[in-house]
Amino acid sequence: MRLLALDVGERTVGVATCDEMGLTTTSLYTLRRRSLDKDLDRLTRTASERDASRIVVGLPLSMDGSESERTSRTRDFARALARKTSIPVLLWDERLSTFEAENILRKSKVHWKKRKDLVDQVAAEVILRSYLDADCPSPTPSGPAFEVNQEQQEG
């Protein structure tokens, strides 16, 4: 099962994928945000080209699990993406993914200027690895992975 993972920010979206078996993750690119329609077109095209069966969107929760304005904007983005594609879109807790991505890049001795360009796509890879390490759980309203399409139907 191929997956696509997104780390959605205000100015960029980090994109990562995994192999068919879910054993290895790969960062793909950092999308510079232009407009919602253009961003969604590019992401749905990538999902289609990669034959993704799910799109995992990192949900930025506060350390105490509470939601913020950024969480709300990410939910809105995920809903718009779910309307644009027939591929299930899931929300997944992304706490500390950017921090972990920065540590990975620092330990890999990536120059700080280059780290700035790579951190979002590596964060998407961290989100995807977290999801895969949880054994690709089935999305349920009470579980850590929540399918955006279910949220739309219920809410």
Please return the burial class of 64, using the count of CB atoms within 10 Å of its CB with bins 0-12, 13-18 and 19+: exposed
pTM of the predicted model, to two decimals?
Answer: 0.82
Please report which helix (H) or strand (E) contains residue 148, including its range.
helix 148-154
Query: Which of the pair, 114 or 46, is modelled with greater confidence?
Result: 46
For residue range 108-147, what is the model confidence (pLDDT) as tens digits? 776 677 767 777 888 899 899 889 988 755 554 444 455 6
Domains and CATH numbers, the chain: 3-149 (3.30.420.140)
Whole-number average pLDDT of the chain: 83
Please report which helix (H) or strand (E) contains residue 16, including its range.
strand 12-18
What does the chain come to in residues? 155
Where residue 94 falls among pLDDT bands split at 50, 70, 90?
confident
Pull the structure tokens for residue 13: 């979206």
DSSP string, 30-97: EEEP--HHHHHHHHHHHHHHTT-SEEEEEE---TTS---HHHHHHHHHHHHHHHH-SS-EEEEE-TTH
